[in-house]
Amino acid sequence: MKKNEGITLIALIITIIILVILAAVSITAVTQGNIIGWSSDAAAKYIDQSNLENTTLSEFESRWLSVDSVLSSKLGNGRRNRRWRRGIHSRARSR
């Protein structure tokens, strides 16, 4: 009985043809589909949104620090922490 080892020449040719067709379709989609242009637009929008988020976070932080400084001046650091904790515990018990 004869052993068949390896792949046939026809299977190799068919595989190469399929790979060439897939490469041609991919290259056409990238060049004519403007995928590179879309990715550039997406990158620009990402940078804009990131800057907006950083600005919003900075504003929130500055407002939080101003509220925190007002609380610190009115209650003092140690008293504020005790009152804040007591308020949380009393609200949790009342529920």
pLDDT in tens, 28-51: 888 887 777 888 899 999 999 999
pLDDT value for 75: 73
How far apart are the C-alpha atoms of 89 and 87, rounded to whole Å? Answer: 6
The answer to whether 51 and 43 have CB atoms below 8 angstroms apart is no
Q: What is the pTM of this model?
A: 0.45
Low-confidence ranges of the chain (pLDDT < 50): none
Q: Residue ranges per domain, the chain?
A: 10-94
CB crowding 21-44: b at 16 or more within 10 Å, else e: eeeeeeeeeeeeeeeeeeeeeeee
DSSP state of 6: S
CB crowding 60-71: b at 16 or more within 10 Å, else e: eeeeeeeeeeee
